[in-house]
A and B are shown apart, each in its own frame.
Chain A
Amino acid sequence: MKRVNAVQLTLTVLVWGALFVLPLMGMAPNRILTPKGLSLWSDIGGTPLVVMLILGVLLTLSVLLPAKLSAQAKKLSNGLIYFFSAAIVAYLFWLAGDFAASQVELSARVRCSFGAGFWALLLLWLMSIEAVRPLAKTPLVSTLMAVIFWLPLMVLVSQSHFQYLSLFIEYRANKSAFDNAFFVHSQIVLITLVLTIVIGLWLGIRSYRSPRFGRACLSTLSILQTVPSIALFGLLLAPLSYLTKKLPFLSELGISGIGMTPAIIALLLYSLLPMVRSTQTGLKQVSPLMLEAAYGMGMSRFQCLWKVHFRLALPVILSGLRITTVQAIGLTMVAALIGAGGFGAIMFRGLSGSAIDLVLLGVIPVVIMAAAADTFFKMLVHLTEPSPKSEAATLAQGG
């Protein structure tokens, strides 16, 4: 066994780099100017520098703790690594809020933002969770790990510690636009998902039954998938506005060339491919023996399809739905270009004014939404994955 874990050592070196080489914070005299990077070493200094140095040394020591001694020592080393990297992240959040507050006190127009070092450390933190993953074997330990990370952050948020950071000033200035964007964004994604599930399942089941139909359906959808989103949104613009002109009742229904309708149609066209493909594969991979057994137990055709065949295909179908959802959440941003609204509208507004904080205000919620959807569906897939025992149980229940 090697003395030191190479992955953990590399991550630690990167942490030192992010802390002391990259600018941790950014500061601009006002909203319009590009922020200038401030490094912990030369610009911030003082107590934060000392605290970070100590935490950095402690982290390095726990990585260097000889893992050769025993499995126990290795566990301790992993625990310490997790604890100290969580402490660095928590202190970093505190520092960002505190620094912003102290600067705004000096001049109300000053805008403090997170610097490259901050984002690098956040990414390194996500990686370090992976690097100590073997640690979280029991539910107790993984709960403890989650508490260590989330508790300090929750306390800081509850005390509105971040209110002077530029991102949060932007948020307050755009609160109604932000809330509306959240509503519209979720609405577009949810409507698309419902349509995708209904149409996708139907096409998927048909594709399963008739391979010929399946081939035609999948090759059409995969050609559509290659068409860039902005082009598809654009191509739907003209026919829809033509239709609403010819058939006025459509516009009374709220359907028009720009806005939500073309967005949802385009998103649906993109979403169908993963859904149809996963439905077809899911149904195909169910063992014929299981179906045979279900028939043998006297199930009707309908029971057999829904209670056995579909139930067993569910994990595969859900993982298709996961890809669809993550993709739709991201693509909805582009739909802002054709006036559909959502977080993309905030992002493009920031882009045209080159206000990075407004861009982030549009991007961060979307990334969080996508990550949440990703985790949610992964959990669902995990829950529906049949163990050999429950496969028998499904049959027993149905019969």
Chain B
Amino acid sequence: MSTQAIKARANQAIWLFLGLLVAFSVGMPHLETVFHALFPKLARPVYLQTSFVDLLFSHIWLVVVSSVISVLIGVGVALFVTRPAGVAFRPLVETVVAICQTFPPVAVLAIAAPLIGMGSSPALIALVLYGLLPVVQSSIAGLTSVNPAVLEAAKGLGMSPFDRLRRVELPLALPVILAGIRISVTINIGTAAIASSVGAKTLGTPIIIGLSGFNTAYVIQGAIVVGLLAITTDMLFELLQQRLERSVNNTEKN
């Protein structure tokens, strides 16, 4: 199969998963007969306390807000330690990131909740903190991987340091930074699901309620929608990365 054909198939897969995601979140109440047949002993086989569309949106909102903050701070830190003024701090930042990554994401959440209180705010803080790590790591990697000859050439053209950053360094580093953001968002979708155990309203809520109330149907419904959300998001990133790489390659050829 040619690469063109593989890519075309990947694009179709995104539509498939996106369609399934929408279908399951909107149509879950209509699946009552199916779940009733699967779990005949359960009196209420479909989670109806909050609609899945609501849960999906508050899940996405939590992940988007935390990821935007993580990216702003993370790229900022990486920019600082790759400039001459901050280069001395680079080993330090890299060590801290490495130390913090041995922390399980759940642990950050569990420590934040008793200190800050229940609800969405401990979830948001945990998500931002943990999401920072891959972004910082990949941004440093991306910014330092830019070919010095290219930078030298930009300098030779008379570009100011800011122009070099904006028009040369950041565009060239973008694919690597994006790979870090992708990891960060994937982790955050999972941690946001667990955050329902500290009272945040996310797609994990039916899972947690189902697990504590022995309602396997709720668990499956939550798991399916959150799984579809994760896979669809990852595919979107894949597509974005492919587009970016293509455009970077094109610029390099020109």
Contacts and interface: CB of A to CB of B under 8 A. Distances in A.
B176 interface: no
Interface stretch (B64-72, B149-157, B158-166, B223-231): B223-231
Interface stretch (B43-51, B108-116, B140-148, B244-252): B108-116
Interface in A201-231: 223, 225-231
Contacts of A359: 110-111, 113-114
Contacts of B234: 223, 226
A107 to B, nearest CB: 22
A126 B231 CA distance: 37
A355 interface: yes
Given A229-B190, A355-B114, A366 B107 contact: yes
Given A235-B224, A334-B194, A363-B110, A228 B230 contact: yes
Contact of A330 (B91, B99, B106): B106
Contacts of B107: 330, 333, 347, 363, 366-367
A234 B220 contact: yes
Contact of A337 (B189, B197, B224, B226): B197
Contact of B104 (A123, A241, A348, A370): A370
Contacts, number: 142
Interface in A94-140: 123, 126-127, 130-131, 133
A329 B96 contact: no
Nearest to B192: A228
B211 interface: yes
B20 to A, nearest CB: 14
Nearest to A357: B114
Contacts of B216: 237-238, 241, 257
A227 B114 contact: no
Contacts of B208: 337
Contact of B106 (A10, A235, A241, A334): A334
Given A231-B222, A235-B223, A371-B102, A350 B96 contact: no
A257 B216 CA distance: 10
A374 interface: yes
Contacts of B222: 231, 234
B34 to A, nearest CB: 13
B93 to A, nearest CB: 9
A362 interface: yes
B105 interface: yes
Contact of B219 (A5, A234, A356): A234
A383 B38 CA distance: 54
A34 interface: yes
B9 to A, nearest CB: 11
Interface size of B as a range: 35 or more
B124 interface: no
Nearest to A6: B88
A370 B104 CA distance: 9
A315 interface: no
A145 to B, nearest CB: 16
Given A7-B88, A350-B114, A226 B231 contact: yes
B115 A356 contact: yes
A238 B231 CA distance: 21
B234 to A, nearest CB: 4
B113 A354 contact: yes
B193 interface: yes
B92 interface: yes
Interface in A351-380: 351, 354-356, 359-360, 362-363, 366-367, 370-371, 374
Contacts of B207: 230-231, 234
Interface string B85-103: 0001101100110010111
Among A223, A230, A356, residue most surrounded by chain B Cβ atoms (within 10 Å): A230
A251 B120 CA distance: 39
Interface residues of A, number: 52
Contacts of B224: 231, 235
A90 interface: no
A184 B95 CA distance: 31
Point out which of B88, B106, B204 has the most chain A C-beta atoms below 10 A from its C-beta.
B106
Interface string B199-237: 000001001101100001001101110110011011000
Contact of B198 (A329, A351, A362): A351
Contacts of A133: 91
A228 B114 contact: no
A64 B181 CA distance: 39
B186 interface: yes
A360 B107 CA distance: 9
Contacts of B114: 34, 350-351, 354-356, 359
A320 to B, nearest CB: 16
A228 B102 contact: no
A232 interface: yes
Contact of B189 (A11, A228, A350, A363): A228
A338 interface: yes
A351 B95 contact: no
B154 to A, nearest CB: 27
A331 interface: yes
20 contacts: A126-B96, A127-B96, A130-B91, A130-B95, A227-B231, A228-B226, A230-B190, A230-B194, A230-B223, A232-B223, A235-B224, A235-B227, A241-B216, A329-B104, A333-B107, A348-B110, A351-B110, A351-B113, A363-B111, A370-B104
Interface of B: 38, 88-89, 91-92, 95-96, 99, 101-107, 110-111, 113-115, 118, 186, 189-190, 193-194, 197-198, 204, 207-208, 210-211, 216, 219-220, 222-224, 226-227, 230-231, 233-234
3 cross-chain pairs, A with B, having the tightest CB-CB distances, nearest first:
A330-B104, A228-B190, A234-B223
Given A226-B230, A351-B114, 7 more contacts: A228-B194, A230-B194, A230-B207, A231-B224, A238-B38, A363-B110, A370-B102
